[in-house]
Amino acid sequence: MPASTAPATLAMTTIDCADPSAEARFWAAALGGEVAHAQDEYAMVTLGEQRIGFGRVEDWTAPEWPNPHGTKQFHFDLAVEDLAAAEAALTGLGATRPADQPSTDWVVLLDPAGHPFCLTKAANWG
């Protein structure tokens, strides 16, 4: 699908962790970014136009390496103009919508392999 007709743009990568502020400080220093937001539950690093988010997950544990289980440790947040239209376009490409939706402000979809990702309104990203 050509980029000009793609239903979404990548707004941020969010990484699950136990301590979002500590992760943000590390990655900001490691990548030359800025900690744009930090609190107990969530932190964000900006790298110019790029964003990396860190979300606190209760009882989070680091993955094994190598990881024989292939467990999820991050997901993509995609900025879209219209949640319903983007969902329809992405499910048309093979994504599925799981029954468990934690919010009405965004939509969680699964890629064809089962990896979760979120659709959020582009206007929410400023």
CA 27 to chain centre: 16
42 close to 1: Cβ distance less than 8 angstroms: no
Please tell me the predicted confidence (pLDDT) of residue 72. 66
Architecture of domain 1-9+73-126: Roll (3.10)
Asked whether residue 46 carries a pLDDT value surpassing 60, the answer given is yes
pTM: 0.73
Q: How confident is the model over 50-97, as pLDDT tens digits?
A: 999 999 999 988 877 777 787 766 788 999 999 999 999 999 999 999
**Residue 66 CA: distances (Å) to CA of 71, 73, 93:** 11, 14, 31
What are the residue boundaries of the structural domains of the chain, listed by start? 1-9+73-126, 19-56
Report the largest interatomic distance among the alpha carbons of the chain, rounded to a whole angstrom.
41
pLDDT at 3 over 60: no
- How far is the C-alpha of 9 from the C-alpha of 81, rounded, in Å? 10
Q: Region 5-33: what's the mean pLDDT?
A: 93
d(CA 10, CA 15) in angstroms, rounded, equals 14
What digits encode the pLDDT tens for the residues 27-37? 999 899 999 99
